[in-house]
Structure 1
Amino acid sequence: MDLLEHLLYPLYQTAILAAAGLVLLCRRRYRSATALLVLGACWLWLCATPAMAMRLREALERHYPPRDAATYAKSDAIVILGGGALLPSGSDRDADDADSLATRIGFGLQLFRDSRADVVLLSGSDQAQRMTQRLLQEGVPASALQTEWASTNTHENAVFSAAMLKRAKRLHILLVTSGFHMARAAAAFAKQGLDVVPAPAYDPDYPYWQAHPWWPRRSALHVSGHCLREFGALWWYRLRGWA
């Protein structure tokens, strides 16, 4: 999967096209070489445009529109997957930094404060422990927190978290992760026999752009690459029977 992940990033794809073009150029196959070099340059430019990045992101997120925490029905547990930004110290429901409260951990905190569930499970390697500490600092009681820190990917998030939730007979969950990641995560958790309600959160690492949609930006290239990786990962999970 690591090799596949690298091949899904536009920079690597462009490098492969450029290398193939140079090989053809050395063999004096000028038309084919020019076609590959131009294709690589155009693909890199396209993926670096906000228009392309937004289209890819919207394709992943369109089934998971954001909602206010209070609109969700009560559940057995709130599951927050690691990744994204942590809350700054001293956040509360009246904080001016709305983006921070909308991140994965921030939105999970809002769901808990709105009594959508009385247990929060944090999943995802060492970041789960850092998230646990942040929620403790925000006043969430230790008795309401569970931490799963053994997982290193979304499949393991689902397998290890489901085992903990099933032991506690908490099968109906609110799953909190970024909108672009929700399709794969929700499918992976449902595959483990859980009743999953997607609760997508905002990810500040995946911005929206208001102007010049066809002007290349490094941030847009970053988003395009991660979205292409997510499409590839979703396909891989379905192929493996993980989603």
Structure 2
Amino acid sequence: MIEVMDMAARLTHPAVQALLLGIVSLVLVVRRRPMAAAWSGAVALAWLWVASTPAVALALRDTLAAPAPDHPARADAIVVLGGETLPRIDWSQPTTRAGKGLALWRDGYAPLLLVSGRDQARTLAEGYAAAGVPMQDLRVDGSSRNTHENARNSATLLAASGASDILLVTSAIHMRRAAASFRKEGVNVSPVPASDAHAVLLLAPRWLPRRDALTLTARCLRERLALWVYHLRGWA
């Protein structure tokens, strides 16, 4: 299932879609259908252009992103999900997942700090320990491969610690699916999204293509597909 999801996620990237349309255009040329080939090629270029614009990328982001609360509620635990390139953990600039989780713990919003994700949980835990979080306040789920497993495995660890109310830290785009997955496991969630760092796109010309805008569009399309799959499978 994970392999199928990975393949489907690649197909949601506008560059891959444009490439496939380009291949279709070449096939139509070989089959001596120049008009259809021209239309296919034009659609491929137009879609790649549109998907690369800040206007479209930010509009897609706004349909997914969860706003950050000014004052999070107190909770039993803070749960930080992996899934991004980890910066140096710096509580003075709590804009990333790692930094926001540490800042919430240091500000006393919850006594426990749980990190989840096979790719980054160990690194996060080591960073938090080095930043002064006692080992007895840390919980580590280092086996989860996706958001569904993040929620399922974290729920087990939380229950063992007597925790039911959490502050969930993940990216704003990912928050809707993540929060729904944790609630499906019986966990009470207060979302605290980390910054997606798209301020540059807000200042860029809205209809001129940019690589970072294309990346954001691809992330949003992938997340839309994942939301649909999770609801279909009853995971969220």
- Secondary structure, counterpart of 1:242 in structure 2: coil
**Cα distance in 1 between the residues matched to 2:201 and 2:102:** 24
- Secondary structure, counterpart of 1:180 in structure 2: coil
**Cα distance in 2 between the residues matched to 1:52 and 1:185:** 24
- In the other structure, the counterpart of 1:184 is 177
Q: How does 1:17-166 map to 2 (within 5 A)?
A: 17-61=21-65, 64-68=66-70, 71-88=71-88, 91-93=90-92, 98=93, 101-166=94-159
* 1:37-78 per-position Cα deviation (integer Å, ceiling 9, x unaligned): 1111100011111111111111111xx21234xx11111110
The equivalent position to 1:196 in structure 2, one of 189, 193, 198, is 189
Q: TM-score, normalised by structure 1?
A: 0.90
Q: Provide closer, same or farther for how the CA distance between residues 229 and 206 of structure 1 changes in structure 2, counting only shifts above 3 A.
A: farther
**Cα distance in 2 between the residues matched to 1:23 and 1:85:** 39
**Conserved in 2, the CA contact under 8 Å of 1:159 and 1:192?**
yes
The aligned length equals 232
Amino acid at match of 1:11: A
**Conserved in 2, the CA contact under 8 Å of 1:77 and 1:118?**
yes
- Secondary structure, counterpart of 2:115 in structure 1: strand
**Conserved in 2, the CA contact under 8 Å of 1:206 and 1:223?**
no
**Cα distance in 1 between the residues matched to 2:181 and 2:43:** 35
Q: TM-score, normalised by structure 2?
A: 0.93
- In the other structure, the counterpart of 1:216 is 209
Deviation at 1:171, TM superposition (A): 1.1
1:230 maps onto 2:219 in alignment: no
* 1:188-223 per-position Cα deviation (integer Å, ceiling 9, x unaligned): 111111111111111348853302111111111111
**Conserved in 2, the CA contact under 8 Å of 1:17 and 1:37?**
yes
**Cα distance in 2 between the residues matched to 1:41 and 1:203:** 27
Structure 1 stretches lacking a partner, 5+ long: none
* 1:75-117 per-position Cα deviation (integer Å, ceiling 9, x unaligned): 111000002343426x344xxxx3xx21101111111112111
Runs of 4+ in structure 1 displaced over 4 angstroms? none
Q: CA RMSD in A?
A: 1.6
- Secondary structure, counterpart of 1:112 in structure 2: helix
**Cα distance in 1 between the residues matched to 2:118 and 2:41:** 41
Amino acid at match of 1:16: L
**Conserved in 2, the CA contact under 8 Å of 1:78 and 1:173?**
yes
Q: Share of identical aligned residues, percent?
A: 44
**Cα distance in 1 between the residues matched to 2:197 and 2:148:** 24
**Cα distance in 2 between the residues matched to 1:205 and 1:125:** 26
**Conserved in 1, the CA contact under 8 Å of 2:164 and 2:187?**
yes
